[in-house]
Amino acid sequence: MKQLVILALFLNTVSAKATETEKVLKSKPEKIIVYTQGAQVHRSIAANLVAGQNTLIFSGLENCINASAIQASGNGNFIIAEIQHEIHYPELDKAKLQGDVRYGKLVKNINDSIKELAYTLEDVNSKIDVLSTEKNVLMSYNLYKGLSKKDSIALLKEGLTYLREKLFNINAEQLKLKREKEKLEARREKLNERLSTINNELANQDPNGEVEKTDYRILVHVIAEQAGPATINLNYYITNAGWQPSYDLRAVSNEQNVKLTYKAQIHQQSGIDWGNVRLVLSTANPNRSYTIPELSPYYLGYNAYPRKTNKMAYNGVPATASGYAATDDMKTMDKEANSEYKAAKDAFEFTEVSENVIETEYDIKLNYNIPSDGKEHFAAILVKDLKTFYRYKAIPKINANVYLTAVLPDWEDAITIGGQASVYYDGSYVGSTSLVPGGTEDTISLSLGIDKNIAVKRQKIKDKCSQKLLDNDIVHQYTFEITMKNSRSSKIEIEVEDQLPLAYDKTVSIDPKELSGAKLEESTGMLTWRLAVPAKDSKRLSLVYQVKAPKSMPVAIN
């Protein structure tokens, strides 16, 4: 009886092993939620399970997966038992990581041979140099040139015979050394090539140049009650990705609202190109800590030590799921019938915006291609009309230009996070500005350029300027006139700025006499007029003030 029980257990073990299977699955990202830092990748794939244990290997994934933020779910008659993150190294890379002695020994032998060859080549070059020196000495000897005072025919013949024999020997030896040098250099070149091949192998590259890449995987272990089809959904967080907003502010004319175009600059360097993938852009940052701070008792004269807390910090990264996770139902974009005469649509028309208290998501219904190159790639999100007031502005004390400005009072309602904005007027680029919500200014003014149809002039009226002696002081009176002319066919609103001087010395006082209704800011001396100028009309403003100063103090006013 005991033997039958052991046999049954053995057969059950064999049967269980027979039902275990591994399947390597290739999948494409179906949806990617891109955060300002990082991204959440969603993949889904169908597989046929065998009864018993199955290991489903998601292969060819990104190289920057947060192993603690992997979730799996699915549809089918199975149980998710375990999720693992694994880096699968090619065989040659394994040899490198494990310090394969065969490769290490081979590389050492080759390097030793190259070093010995270098010494041998140095010896050969040295011998060649000695022979060349000897040859030069022989050729420069005076006896062979007929310059010796003791020259005779006999001596010359004997010398030439000696020279010929020596040159034959030297040339023969040089030729021999040249051949030896060429052989040594060829051998060194082959050794260097062999060393390069081995290094390429150790760097996952074979001699033919084909790269064997490291494979980043997620293993999902499931147990199926019976064989059958199943769908596995996988989502995980990666780090080497993100996006930042950029804006276009476009004014077509001074009678239409400014249009705000909201764009995303998306970048990723995960090692996997995102091809034809659905994107959701989120203003959330999973790397930001949302732990609520606590105040600790503070004692004067002592260092304040914070109390320990048992509260768990939450940084926004999705939690690990070792079992079931909620299935993310993918929404499908409605397909419209193609029409030959249908007007082209803009990308921002395919964005769905959802907001909550903490973050905003932009669900783009168009698929995008974002290569893994770390460069910025643009995606249009949406376009909004901003309530706009057009106003002209002039500072005639500085120059005679009149600037058209667009005043946007409700711009903060249109954006969620700050970024750079390019400003366009009538199709032309005029500059850039920063849109940073949450500041003290709830209204911004955009300069759209200079309008030559409006003229402004500031001049000093000399016959209305005077000086008057009063005891030990001199009272200076200054009079300026500002003239505006509107050559346009419509009324304009214009803001004109000027200023009163400020005195650092308490013995000097400034007394405004006529400001033509200007708003005065006492602390800065700034004067602001806001007025309307009818079409084909002009207006004048007067600025009169007095400066009282000691006679010994010169005063210069412009």
pLDDT-derived band at 8, boundaries 50, 70, 90? very low
3-class state of residue 168 by DSSP: helix
Predicted local distance difference test score (pLDDT) of residue 313: 34
Predicted local distance difference test score (pLDDT) of residue 99: 54
Predicted local distance difference test score (pLDDT) of residue 411: 80
pLDDT-derived band at 333, boundaries 50, 70, 90? very low
**Helices in 245-317 by DSSP H: which ranges?**
none
Q: What are phi and psi of 344, to 5 degrees?
A: -65, 145
Got the DSSP string for 312-330?
PP--SPPPP-SS-----PP
In the predicted model, is pLDDT for residue 534 greater than 70?
yes
In the predicted model, is pLDDT for residue 356 greater than 80?
no
In the predicted model, is pLDDT for residue 197 greater than 80?
no
In the predicted model, is pLDDT for residue 258 greater than 50?
yes
- Alpha carbon distance 385, 332 (integer Å): 28
Taking residues 42-56, report their average pLDDT: 92
Other CB atoms within 10 A of residue 276 CB? 9
Predicted local distance difference test score (pLDDT) of residue 10: 37
pLDDT-derived band at 324, boundaries 50, 70, 90? very low
In the predicted model, is pLDDT for residue 263 greater than 60?
yes
More confident residue, 56 or 316: 56
Taking residues 305-333, report their average pLDDT: 36
pLDDT-derived band at 351, boundaries 50, 70, 90? low
Predicted local distance difference test score (pLDDT) of residue 83: 93
Predicted local distance difference test score (pLDDT) of residue 95: 55
Residues of the chain with pLDDT > 70: what percent? 76
- Alpha carbon distance 62, 80 (integer Å): 22
> What's the pLDDT tens digit per position in 378-437?
888 888 888 888 889 999 999 999 999 888 887 877 777 888 888 998 888 988 888 877
Predicted local distance difference test score (pLDDT) of residue 100: 57
Taking residues 473-477, report their average pLDDT: 89
- Alpha carbon distance 256, 253 (integer Å): 6
In the predicted model, is pLDDT for residue 147 greater than 60?
no
Secondary-structure class of domain 454-550 per CATH: mainly beta
pLDDT-derived band at 338, boundaries 50, 70, 90? very low
Taking residues 528-554, report their average pLDDT: 91
**Residues 42 and 70: beta-carbon distance below 8 Å:** no
DSSP letter for 541, please. E
What tokens does 35 get?
Answer: 């955060």
Amino acid making up residue 253:
S
User: Scanning the structure block, which residue is given the tokens 């996070």?
Assistant: 417
Predicted local distance difference test score (pLDDT) of residue 435: 82
**Residues 22 and 221: beta-carbon distance below 8 Å:** no
Q: Which of 194-203, 282-291, 403-412 has the highest mean pLDDT?
A: 403-412
Predicted local distance difference test score (pLDDT) of residue 32: 93
In the predicted model, is pLDDT for residue 72 greater than 90?
yes
Got the DSSP string for 116-155?
HHHHHHHHHHHHHHHHHHHHHHHHT-HHHHT--TT--HHH
Average pLDDT, the chain: 78
pLDDT-derived band at 520, boundaries 50, 70, 90? very high
Taking residues 497-521, report their average pLDDT: 90
In the predicted model, is pLDDT for residue 531 greater than 80?
yes
pLDDT-derived band at 360, boundaries 50, 70, 90? confident
Got the DSSP string for 520-553?
EETTTTEEEEEEEE-TTEEEEEEEEEEEEEETTS
Predicted local distance difference test score (pLDDT) of residue 261: 87
Instruction: Find how far residue 67's CA is from the centre of its chain.
Output: 24
Q: Which of 39-48, 99-108, 327-336 has the highest mean pLDDT?
A: 39-48
Predicted local distance difference test score (pLDDT) of residue 194: 79
Amino acid making up residue 496:
V
Predicted local distance difference test score (pLDDT) of residue 109: 79
Q: Does the CA dihedral 190-195-200-204 come out positive or negative?
A: positive
List the domain boundaries for the chain: 96-202, 454-550
> What's the pLDDT tens digit per position in 167-180?
788 888 888 888 88
More confident residue, 94 or 66: 66
Give the closest residue to 202 by CA, choosing from 93, 40, 73, 275.
Answer: 93
